[in-house]
Structure 1
Amino acid sequence: MANELDVFVGNTTLIDEEVYQLWLDGYSVSDAVNIRLKSGILDQTGAGADVLESDTMDHYRTFQMIERLLHYPPKLVQQLLFQIPPYKQSMLIERYYAFEEAFVREVLGKKLSKGTKKDLDDISAKTGVTLKSCRRQFDNFKRVFKVVEEMRGALVENIQQNFLLSDKLARDYAAIVFLANSRFETGKKKLQYLTFEDFATCAEHLIQNWTLGAVDIADDMDMDLDKEFLQDLKDLKILITDKDLLDHHKSLVCTSLRGKISVFHEMDSNFKTLSRSLVNIGTSLTHNKDVRDFFIDLVEKFIEPCKAAGWSLTDVQLFLNQYIASARALDAFKQQALWERYMGTLRNCLLKMYHN
C-alpha cells in the first residue's frame, strides 16, 4: 500500500519575537524555557517540554548568528543568507538597539570606555537588568559613538543612516552620544530626580542651538559645542555689570508681571540674584568643567532657589518668557541674536527640568 507525503520546503528564517526578547534580556536557554512554560505555551500547542527546549535552543542559535549583522544593520539588510522580511529586519534592529531607562541613567554622560564597562556588574545588581543585557546596551552605545564621532553633518541623520533606527530611537542615541562626548555630569545625587527623557530633551535643544552644526554650515558637526559661541557669551555680562541696564531690565520685567505671577514680591526682591545666576551660567561655559557641570548649575543656581521660594512651573515659565522678551527692549543692549540663541535654549532646559 503506497503512502503519500506532501513536503513543503522554504528558506524564510523564522523569528519568534517573544523568544527574541528573552534572548535580548539576557536569559539563558533554561531560564527562557521556564518562562515560556509558565506562559502556558504547551497547553496552546500540545507539544512536550523537550520540543519546547529544542525550539528555544534553535531560536537562540539563530539570534547568535544574526547578532554580528546587527552590529552593522545595513549588512543585515544587504545579506542573502537569512531570508527575513523587511518588517522583521526592522523589528530585529529596533529591539536590539533599544535600551532600558534604569540602565541608561547609570551610564549617561560617562565615558564609553573599558573603565565604565568594568562597572557593569554593579550596575546590573543595582538596576536588576541582567549583566548580559547591560553589556549589549553598553556595547551598542559605544559602537554608535565610535561610528559617528568624526562624521560631519546632522548627528541624528548620521545615526539613522548607519544604524537604520527609528527617528525616536535615533534621537535618543544622539542625546547619549552628545552627552558622553562632552562628559556632562548627570549622576550626582541632586540630579537623580531627572529622567533620561529630561536629559534627552535638553540635549536635543543644545544640539540644535549650541553646536557647530547649529550655524547651518554643512561641513560642521553636532557632536561639539560651538566654542566661538561659548566665548561670545561673555558679552552678556553687561546685563548684570551695568547697573542702569540691570535696573531697567528689572523694571521692565516687574512691570509686565505685576498681578500675573503668584510670587511677584519674591521675584522683585531676588531679581538681580536670579539674573546674575542665569547670565553667569553662560559666561562660565568656556571652561570644560563648567560645561560638564551645566545641569548641576541649572539646578543649584536657579531651580533649587525657585523651588525653595515656592515658585510653580507656571511662575517659572512666565518669568523666563518675560525675562527674555524684556531684554529686547533695552536700547543699550546690543547682543540680541546672541541673547536669543543662549536664553532660548536655557529656558527650554529649565522648563523641562523644573518638576513640580
Structure 2
Amino acid sequence: MNMTQESLFISKYTCIDPEIFELWVEGYTASEAIAIISFKELSMNTGVTLEEIEDDLRCHYGMYSHLEKTISNPKLDGQLRQLFQADPPTRLWVLEKYYQIDDAVIRELLCKELISDDVKNFSEVAEKTGKSCKSCRRQFDNIRRVFEAVREMSGSILENIKILFHLRDELAKKYACLVSLCCMGFKTPEKLNYLTFDSWKKCCEVIIEQWTYKLTGPEYHETKMDKEFLLKLTEFKMLIDGEEDHKRLICLYLKPKLSQKDFSDLDSNFHLYTGAILTLAIALHCPENIKNLFIDLKQILEYFKQNNWSIFDLGLFLQAYDQCAIEVDVIKIDATLKSTWGRFMEVLSRCLLSMY
C-alpha cells in the first residue's frame, strides 16, 4: 500500500486499495499485512506513521469482509452496483482477484477429489503449496460455489460461468475445467499430481468439445457425457479382429517417419498398444470406466514411456492410428462410424500428448 499511489475508488465514501485487497485475498491476517506494508512504507520514508498504517489497513480489512458476502453471491453484479456504485473496471478487478486460483492449490485439491466433503484439512494443502489456509479454503469454496451454480444448467459451461460470475474468459475457462471434472466424476488420484493445471484444462476442453451433448434443450448439458456416442464406441471391437490389417496400414504409413528404434518397438508391441486403446474405447459406456479415464490414459502412456518413445513419435503414431483405422473396410464405408472414431481419437490424442 503506497499512500501516495492512486487507489481504486468504488464509491464516494469507500475505496479499494489494490495492495491491501490482494493481501486480504491471499489470506494474510491483518497483523501479518500490517507487518508487510509497514516495513515497505516506513522504509520509503513516506512520512506515514505506523499507527496510520494500522488504522487504514484494519478499516480496509473490515470493508473487504463485508464485501465478501456480496462477491460470493452469483447475482453479485447488481449488488455491487447498488451497494458500492462500482465502475465496471473496478468490479471486474475485484472479481478476478477474489476468484483467482493457484495451479498448485488446485492440483492438491484434485488429489482430494476437489469438492468432496472430506476436504477439511487445508493446513496440509497450505503446507505443500506455500499458500495460507484461508487462501486454500477460499479457492475450495469458490470452486464449489461455481460448481453448484452451473452443474444443472443446459448450454455452454464456459458461457454460463461468465454470465453468472462475470469472470473474464481465461479465468472462466479454468473454472469450466474444474466443473467438468466434478460433474463427470473423473478420478484424479495423487499419482496424477505430476500434471500441470494447463494439462488438465486442455484435456477437459477437448472432452467437452467432443464427448458431451451439444444439442440445446433442458435434457442436454455440456456437463454430461453423450451416452449414445459412448455406446457407439463398442462397435470398434471390429478393430480387434482386424488388428493385422490396421497394423499393416500403420506400419506402411510410419516406416519412413518414425525413428528406427520406435518403429521396431511398434512392430513388436503393436498388439499391446492397440489392445490398451481399444479396451478403453469399448468400455467407456460404463460410468465407472468414465471415472477412471485419466487413470487409464496414464497407463497407456506408461507403455510408451517404458519403451522410451519421444513425444514427437507418439504424436505421429496417434495420427497414423487414427487415419489408418478409417481405411479399414468396415469403417471406411460407414460415415457414422468414421465420425464416432474421429471424436474418440481427437480426445485420446490430445489428452495423451498433454499428459505425456
State whether TM-score is above 0.5: yes
1:54-94 CA distance string (max 9 Å, x none): 11011111211211111125434453231322111100001
Q: Where in structure 2 are the equivalents of 1:193-204 lying within 5 Å?
A: 193-204=194-205
Contact 2:301 2:352 (C-alpha < 8 Å) held by counterparts: yes
Letter in 2 for 1:347: S
C-alpha displacement of 1:287: 2.4
Q: Which residue of 2 aligns with 1:75?
A: 76
1:206-261 CA distance string (max 9 Å, x none): 01110123xx3354211111122111111111101x2xx21111111101111210
Looking at structure 1, the residues matched to 305 and 115 of structure 2 have their Cα atoms a distance apart, in angstroms, of 34
Contact 2:206 2:346 (C-alpha < 8 Å) held by counterparts: no
Q: Which residue of 2 aligns with 1:224?
A: 224
Q: Which residue of 2 aligns with 1:290?
A: 289
Letter in 2 for 1:289: E
Sequence identity (%): 37
Looking at structure 1, the residues matched to 273 and 77 of structure 2 have their Cα atoms a distance apart, in angstroms, of 53
Secondary structure at 2:44 match in 1: helix
Q: Which residue of 1 aligns with 2:314?
A: 316
Q: Where in structure 2 are the equivalents of 1:1-356 lying within 5 Å?
A: 11=12, 13-40=14-41, 43-72=44-73, 74-78=75-79, 79-108=81-110, 110=113, 112-116=115-119, 118-189=120-191, 191-213=192-214, 216-219=215-218, 220-240=220-240, 242=241, 245-262=242-259, 263-300=262-299, 302-333=300-331, 334=334, 335-354=337-356
Looking at structure 1, the residues matched to 83 and 341 of structure 2 have their Cα atoms a distance apart, in angstroms, of 56
Letter in 1 for 2:200: F
C-alpha displacement of 1:120: 2.1
1:81-127 CA distance string (max 9 Å, x none): 313221111000011011111211122272624322x2323322332
Letter in 1 for 2:126: S
Q: Which residue of 2 aligns with 1:5?
A: none
- The alignment yields a C-alpha RMSD, in angstroms, of 1.7
Normalising by the residue count of structure 1, what TM-score does the alignment of the two structures yield? Answer: 0.90
Letter in 2 for 1:184: F
1:125-171 CA distance string (max 9 Å, x none): 33222111111111101110111011111100000000000111111
Contact 2:154 2:216 (C-alpha < 8 Å) held by counterparts: no
Contact 2:227 2:285 (C-alpha < 8 Å) held by counterparts: yes
Contact 2:34 2:57 (C-alpha < 8 Å) held by counterparts: yes
Looking at structure 2, the residues matched to 75 and 256 of structure 1 have their Cα atoms a distance apart, in angstroms, of 56
Deviates more, 1:313-322 or 1:177-186: 177-186
Structure 1: give runs of 5+ residues left out of the alignment: 1-9
Letter in 2 for 1:94: E
Secondary structure at 2:330 match in 1: coil
1:16-48 CA distance string (max 9 Å, x none): 111101000111111001011232356353110
Looking at structure 2, the residues matched to 73 and 14 of structure 1 have their Cα atoms a distance apart, in angstroms, of 22
Deviates more, 1:197-206 or 1:68-77: 68-77
Deviates more, 1:79-88 or 1:192-201: 79-88
Contact 1:233 1:338 (C-alpha < 8 Å) held by counterparts: yes
Contact 2:27 2:132 (C-alpha < 8 Å) held by counterparts: yes
Contact 1:285 1:291 (C-alpha < 8 Å) held by counterparts: yes
Looking at structure 2, the residues matched to 277 and 264 of structure 1 have their Cα atoms a distance apart, in angstroms, of 18
Deviates more, 1:74-83 or 1:178-187: 74-83
Looking at structure 2, the residues matched to 172 and 94 of structure 1 have their Cα atoms a distance apart, in angstroms, of 12
Secondary structure at 2:118 match in 1: helix
Letter in 2 for 1:72: N
C-alpha displacement of 1:273: 1.6
Normalising by the residue count of structure 2, what TM-score does the alignment of the two structures yield? Answer: 0.90
